[in-house]
Structure formats: C-alpha cells, structure tokens
Chain A
Amino acid sequence: MYTIKDKILLAPGIKMFMIDAPSIAQKAKPGQFVIVRKDEYGERIPLTIADSDKREGTITIIFQEVGRSTQDLGKMEVGDMILDLVGPLGRESEIDFYGTVICVGGGVGVAPIYPITRALHMKGNRIISIIGARSADYLIWLDKMDEVSDEFYVTTDDGSYGRKGFVTEVLTEIMDKEEINMVMAIGPIQMMEAVSRITKEKGIKTLVSLNPIMLDGTGMCGACRVQIGDEVKFACVDGPEFDGHLVDWENAKRRLKMFEREEKIALTSLGCRCCQGGEK
C-alpha cells in the first residue's frame, strides 16, 4: 500500500500526488513511469514519474482526469492508500550533451517533460522550452520549467496567456532562426505528431514519449505495441521514448481508441458499485 502524502489541484482536472514509495524513489530516472492500480477493482494505468525525492522517499505523479480510472484516482485524498504501485518502468531518457535542445510540453505533458528537461539542463545543454495548453487555466509548472530553461515560451490556444496559437508555430520560428540539435516533445499525440512532422523536414532528431494502452508494463502482453519504422516495439520496455520520425502515428492514434466504447461505459457506470453494496 502506498500512502498519498500530498495532493494539489494544479489546473481544472489536473491533479498532483506525492506518494510514499521509498524504493521507487531511490531508483526513478527521468523518462520512467509507474503503473498504478487504485484498488481491487481498478485498472492498471501508467503514469509518468514527474519528480522524485530520494530523501523523503516520495514520487510525484501528475495526471489529467480523462476517464474513469483517472477520475477515481482524483477522488483520493491525502492519507488514502493506493493499493498497487509498480515501477520504475520503461527506459530512462538518454540524457546527454546535445547542444541546443528544444523541449516541447503540451498540456499535462509538461509533467513528464520536466524531469527530462531538468536533467538535460544539468548536462549543460542550452534549453529552449515551449509550453502549450488550451488556456491559461491549464498551464502547469510554468515556474519549474522556467527555472531549468535558458529560453522559455508559452502558448495558449485561446491567447489567454502567452502567445495565442500552437506550440508548433513557435517551434517553427525558432528552428528558422537558429541551429537546433535535438527536440524532445511530450503531450497529446496530435501535438507530438505535428512536432515530428515539422522537425523531420529539417532533419532534426526528435524524441517523443508514446502513451499507448498498457497492461502489465513488463513486456508480457504486447498491448502497448507500437510500429517504429519497420519494427514492432513494446513501449513499456523498449520505450516509452522513440524517434518521432519513425513512429507510425496513424497506428498509434488508432490503437488508443481500442476501448473507446468500453471507456464510455465505465464512466457512465460511475458509482454503480455502491448501489450493489460494494464487495462482490
């Protein structure tokens, strides 16, 4: 059992938990994730380790309430215990000196890109960060990202904060202006795809963090398979980071819709367990 030590509402529907998980905290590296199962009835859902504190023995997760499992999780409070938490899973990011690196974070994707950005910054890379969200309300961790960036841009779709428009517009402008050695993008799949398309034209190495549906997270089931170039990879063990220029985006987007209908059923059945008297 893993106790929630702290809970913060970062933006509407975006929540942050600090969880007591000393062993995982010891080991967590940027780019890695955990799989969470809230309770006996829960799904196993993957969430990035957005931060970790070895001394306190805690890890931080930030999640957006998009469906039943993330909503159920969001209802938990400080002091509550999560039944299962396994990690750190996935490969760590390749933190190296590249030169000038652009880090693009969209929406809740800022959470997973933060530890990577920080590590890249500490390696001596010049960091240009571009953060985007729907509107000002949904921008998270601006200060933290600013701290680890040499240049910092913010966009919102509606112009309520920073520049009006998409992250890709700023990205294009910067790339036209100066030489970029690497781009790292994490956010909604459409955003990662758009970023990869732009950088591919310029031939700039681009890493994205894919978020397919997962089950075990250990390479046992193949639910998370993604097409990378002419190879099929299991994102939970071979990723989650991949070369954005090689990703089969159509396939990746389609596979996220595998259980669309069931996800709706799960949402509308909210609370039905209580009427049935709980235990079954």
Chain B
Amino acid sequence: MPREIIKNKYPMPLLPIEKRIKSFHEVALGYTEDLAIKEAERCLQCNKPSCVEGCPVGVDIPAFIKLILERDYLAAAAKIKEKNSLPAVCGRVCPQENQCEKMCVLGKKYEPVAIGRLERFVADYELANGELQYTRKSPTGYRVAVVGSGPAGLTCAAELAKMGHEVTVFEALHIAGGVLVYGIPEFRLPKSIVAKEIENIKALGVKIEVNSVIGKLWTVDELMREKGYHAVFIGTGAGLPYFMDIPGENLNGVYSANEFLTRVNLMKAYDFPNYLTPIRTGKRVAVIGGGNVAMDAARTALRLGVEESYIIYRRTEKEMPARAEEIEHAKEEGVRFIFLSCPVEIKGDNEGRVCEIICQNYELGEPDESGRRRPVPIPGSEYSLKVDTVIMAIGQGPNPLIAATTDQLQVNKKGNIIADEQTGKTSKPGVFAGGDIVSGAATVILAMGAGKKAALSIDKYLRSL
C-alpha cells in the first residue's frame, strides 16, 4: 500500500524572535523525539540513496534514519559516527541544502528529508544519554603532533588516538575548538556542545596544549627533531582576515568579523564588564559580505542591542554563500539586507570614529570563473548610510606563520599549504595538512573529512617508519 507522502519537512521548533534578539540562547531548539520519528518516516529508504553522495564524508543516511525509526538512537549515533565524529556540530552547521539534502530524491518534488535536523537529534540524544564507547588499539609507540584544534585537527587527533598513536594537539588560543569556539556564535552552536566533544576526544587519550603558537614556541621542525614527534598534522585554518583596502578602514569602529566575533564569543564581551573584554557597536552596524560569517556578525550585533543591523552584499540574495537557514533567521530577526551594493569609503567624525559609509550600487554582469554572475559597479550611484560600526566579513586567508617557519613546506600563490587531497601529504616528509589551511575557507565537514583522510595516511606513514 503506497504510503502518503508528507511534502514538507517538519518545522524546526525555534526560539520566539523577541527572545532571540535579547539573548545568545540557541535559536533552533531541536526536534523532539516525536518530531524526529515523524520526519524519519518521510525517508523512502532508497536502495540507491543519492543523499549519501551529497555528504562529503558519506554518512550512511538511510541506515541511521532507520535506526531512529527503531527508536535505537544510540545505535543511530554510532552509525553516523562511523563517518562523522562531530554529528552534534555538523547537524547544526553543515550547509545541508548544498550537500546531503540537495541530493535527497524527495527534494525533486517536495522538500528533502531534514537530514541535518535528524543528525542533530540523534547526536544530542547521545550527548545527553550515551556513554562514550570506543575501542582503542594498543599503543603503537608513535607520537603525532597536531597543530590547530579546529574541526580538522580534532578529527585527525581523534582518529589517530583510536589507532593507538600518542597524540598532542597544540592550539594557539586559550581554548580548543578553532572557529567552532571563536567564530560561530553560541546562538547557532552552543559552546557546551563543542566542549563535550572535546572532552570525548580527550577521553581517547589526546593531550591538548593550549596557549601554544607553533612557529613561535616551537617550529614544526623542532617538534619533529627535538620533541620526538614522528609526524605532524597542520590544521591551522583560514584565520587571516581580509580587509577591502578602502579609505577609512582603520577608523575606530571598523572591525574584522574575526575580531568582532572573537570578542563576543571567545572573550564573552556580551557580558562586559563581568568579563573584561570590551566591545562597542553604537546604534547602527553595517556588515560587509554575504557568507555565514556575515550573517553571524549581523545577528550578533542585534543581540548586543543595536537598532539597525545591515548586511551589504555586492551580489543578490541568490548568490549569497551563507546557509539558507541563517539567511532566513537573520531576516526574521530584523537584519536589513542591502543587495548589489559595496562600500567605497568609510568616513569618521572628528574623533576618528566611524559615522558614515559610502557605498556604490552594482548590477550583475557576465558569469565569472565561479559561475556566478560578476557584480559590476554602476558609476555615479554612490550613496551614504549613517553607521557607527563597520564589520568586514569578506573572507579570510591562510595565516603565514607555519609556512614561514617550516623548511621545505610548499604553499600556493595564495599562501595555502599544498597537500594531496586524498592523503593530506605535503612537500615535507612526515608533515600532513588539511582543512581550511589547504582548501581555503570552506566548511566544517570538509575540514573534518580532510582530518580523517590525513589520519589514515599518517597511520600508514608511521607504520612504514
């Protein structure tokens, strides 16, 4: 008997808007058990599940959804973790509409199965109820140093530890987690979840040394020559903020999104002066850019109490690289979008504080290398917007510190470390790399995938020593 198809995803329970913009509480509250089961019932359990092809790490989606239907959530979590060791994170932040859910057959006619929400449900259930279970092989005696504790480094470390290697993660900041702790805000990814995942990784025997800037405290060469590490994985991310190089960018009140978000997330400036790191926004904030970083900055500004939070983006909504859900939430919360527009100058008052931003309108021209239509400025279309703060969220590049202090480590023109996509091997024997430092700013799941692949090839390398 053909069953009835429910056309739409079961909606995600959300925090009411008026509560959202007054707190950093998580916006998406997560499916209840009942909703999860109903949503899981929408899955057709395809024989050739195309959704799996859309997932960069190949999570066995129908299998874990089936386990949800069997009410065996811990088994479902285990199933996901065969491929993805941070499901509570990915269920929340993966751009599912471009990955697994994009390929779901249901999506051809209706809304796809809400795979991300189901993944999150299972992972949260496990975090609340599960006991950590893993099999760790007997110690191999090999020691690996992992540089950077973002998703790439953490995944690589966890995989290597499970294989029996002794792993130490070196992190420059005072807390592990990379962008997951300093960039992505609490209202999207509660820090307690990241902290739990890190506890789990420590339980595998991984040591995490915070406050350790590799390239300064020790170089990669020293880690290998003097500190006795047999191999090194570099997962230092894309941490170098780009600015636009327009007049007025050094005025007080212009932040990189990294600075703005780090002050608020990592240093808890929203609770100033209880926490001593200050932040200052004034009443009107303009965020430049159209990715997740821009959405996060604009929504964070609202929560700090600004009256107007603008996003200024040079293409149109269609081209915005941010996750669909974030754009939707930003709109609901009152972020104002100005499309086809780009700043040309920032002006300050006589104390050198931002007071105004001059923008120019754009139109879309021919498609560029990325296939998106190239934005072209319209001469004479300049206009002014009164703002107190400008946040640059136009992208990040690779931090050059490691490359500059490591012998024989090759980088490309942009400064990204050159590493084999399948193995993470760099030009330097024993040194592997992955995540944003290799790919340029990308996604959590791709960074994790790279960390995992590198772990496999590091294992092979160690055993060949």
Determine whether A261 belongs to the interface, using a CB cutoff of 8 Å to chain B: yes
Within 8 A of B (CB), among A75-128: 83-89
| Interface-located stretch among B52-60, B258-266, B435-443, B449-457 | B258-266
| Contact present for B278 and A259 (CB under 8 Å) | yes
Once A216-B262, A219-B401, A269-B273 are accepted as A-B contacts, the answer to whether A225 and B250 lie under 8 Å apart by CB is yes
Docked CA distance A258–B280 (Å): 9
Tell me the smallest distance from the CB of B404 to a CB of chain A, in Å.
Answer: 10
With A84-B174, A220-B258 as known contacts, state yes or no: A280 contacts B213, CB within 8 Å.
no
Task: State whether the Cβ of A227 lies closer than 8 Å to any Cβ in chain B.
Answer: yes
Q: Are B252 and A254 in contact (CB under 8 A)?
A: yes
Taking a contact as CB atoms under 8 Å apart, the answer to whether B272 and A262 are in contact is yes
Interface residues of A in 33-87 (CB under 8 A from B): 37, 41-44, 68-69, 72, 83-87
Is A202 an interface position by the 8 A CB rule?
no
Q: How far is the CA of A84 from the CA of B210 in the complex (A)?
A: 9
**A44-B267, A86-B213, A232-B250 given as contacts; is B278 within 8 A of A216 (CB)?**
no
Surface stretch bound by A, among B137-145, B238-246, B363-371: B238-246
Tell me, yes or no, whether B136 is within 8 Å of chain A by CB.
Answer: no
Are B280 and A215 interface neighbours, CB within 8 A? Answer: no
Complex Cα distance, B213 from A75, in Å, reads 28
B276 CB-CB contact with A under 8 Å: yes
Chain A proximity mask over B389-414: 1 for CB below 8 Å, otherwise 0: 00000000001110000000000000
Instruction: Describe B's contact surface by its main secondary structure.
Output: loop
A84 and B275 CA atoms in complex are apart in Å by 15
User: Does B129 touch A at the CB level, under 8 Å?
Assistant: no
A261 B210 Cβ-Cβ under 8 A:
no
Chain A: number of interface residues, binned into ranges: 35 or more
**Interface: B211 (CB within 8 A):** yes
Residues of chain A within 8 A of B218, CB atoms compared: 23, 27
CB of B216 closer than 8 Å to a CB of A: yes
Which residues on the A side are within 8 Å of B276 (C-beta)? Answer: 41-43, 68-69, 72, 266
**A37 vs B267: C-alpha distance when bound (angstroms):** 10
Q: Of B240, B274, B280, B351, which one neighbours A41 at CB under 8 angstroms?
A: B274
B173 within 8 A of A: yes
Mask: chain B, 205-246; 1 = CB below 8 Å from A; 0 = not: 000001111001110000000000000000000011101010
* Count of chain B residues near A, Cβ 8 A: 43
Check A218–B174 contact: CB distance below 8 A. no
Q: Are B252 and A258 in contact (CB under 8 A)?
A: yes
In the bound complex, how far is the Cα of B172 from the Cα of A205, in angstroms? 34
* B263/A266 in contact, CB under 8 A: no
User: In the assembly, what is the distance between CA of A34 and CA of B273, in Å?
Assistant: 23
Determine how close the nearest CB of chain B comes to the CB of A102; give it in whole angstroms. 29
Complex CA gap A254/B275 in Å reads 24
Judged by a CB distance under 8 angstroms, whether A131 is at the interface is no
- Pick the residue among A27, A41, A86 that contacts B174 (CB under 8 A): A86
Please tell me if the beta carbons of B277 and A237 are within 8 angstroms of each other in the complex: no
B278 adjacent to A255 (CB under 8 Å): no
A223 CB-CB contact with B under 8 Å: yes
Least distance between A188 CB and chain B CB atoms (Å):
19
Q: How far is the CB of A52 from chain B (nearest CB, A)?
A: 13
- Chain A residues within an 8 Å CB radius of B279: 262
The CA-CA distance from A27 to B212 in the complex, in Å, is: 12
User: Which residue in A24, A68, A254, A276 is a CB contact (below 8 Å) of B217?
Assistant: A24
For chain A residues 118-166, which have a beta carbon within 8 Å of chain B? Answer: none
B259 in complex: contacting residue of A43, A68, A223, CB < 8 Å: A223
Q: Are A220 and B240 in contact (CB under 8 A)?
A: yes
- The verdict on A11 contacting chain B, using a C-beta distance below 8 Å, is no
Q: Is the CB of A261 within 8 A of B274?
A: no
**Which residues of B sit under 8 angstroms from A200, Cβ to Cβ?**
none
Q: How near does chain A come to B240, taking the closest CB pair, in angstroms?
A: 6
B280 engages A261 (CB within 8 Å): yes
List of A residues within 8 angstroms of B258 by Cβ: 220-222
Selected contact of B274 from candidates A24, A251, A280, CB within 8 Å: A280
Please tell me if B429 contacts chain A, counting CB pairs below 8 Å: no
Closest residue of B by beta carbon distance from A45: B276
Q: Is there a chain A Cβ closer than 8 Å to B155's Cβ? A: no
Task: Write the chain A residue with the least CB distance to B392.
Answer: A222
In the complex, whether B321 has a CB less than 8 A from a CB of chain A is no
5 residue pairs, one from A and one from B, having the closest CB atoms: A262-B278, A221-B259, A254-B352, A220-B239, A86-B211
A-B contact pairs, 14 of them (CB 8 A): A43-B277, A44-B277, A84-B174, A86-B174, A86-B213, A87-B217, A89-B213, A218-B399, A219-B399, A219-B401, A220-B262, A222-B255, A225-B243, A254-B252
Known: A219-B401, A223-B256, A251-B352. 7 other contacts (CB 8 A): A37-B174, A41-B274, A69-B276, A215-B267, A216-B173, A254-B251, A272-B274
